[in-house]
Amino acid sequence: MAGLIGVLALLEGELMGDGVPPHLSNRIRDRLERAGLLEPAGTERELRQSISDLNHRLRYALGEYEEPPEPLTVP
């Protein structure tokens, strides 16, 4: 799980810096939409927010937080 958390953090950072090709970004967006983690036609910031929220939910599942975390706003 720690590896997956790291990959999500890396992906979020790369999306912020335009380091993810559009076709890959769109595939990630589509997958998160199908999972109900991102609203259809969400913005790039909303995509990053969804990934950040997922990251923190995984951390909660691992026991890093005692209670489910509140979303932390991404830039």
Full DSSP string of 12-24: HHHHHTT-S-HHH
Q: How many domains does the chain have?
A: 1
Per residue in 24-68, pLDDT tens? 999 999 999 999 999 998 999 999 999 999 999 999 999 998 898
Phi, psi torsion values for 7, nearest 5 degrees:
-65, -40
Q: Hunting for tokens 């929220």 — which residue is that?
A: 53
Q: What does each C-alpha distance from 74 to 15, 27, 51 come to in angstroms?
A: 12, 21, 10
Tell me if 75 is assigned to some domain: no
Domain with 42 in it: 2-61
Tell me if 54 is assigned to some domain: yes
Judge whether residue 6 has pLDDT over 90.
yes
Looking at residue 2, what is its pLDDT? 84
Which run of H or E residues covers position 31? helix 22-34
Looking at residue 46, what is its pLDDT? 96
Residues 74, 72: Cα–Cα separation, whole Å: 6
Tell me if 73 is assigned to some domain: no
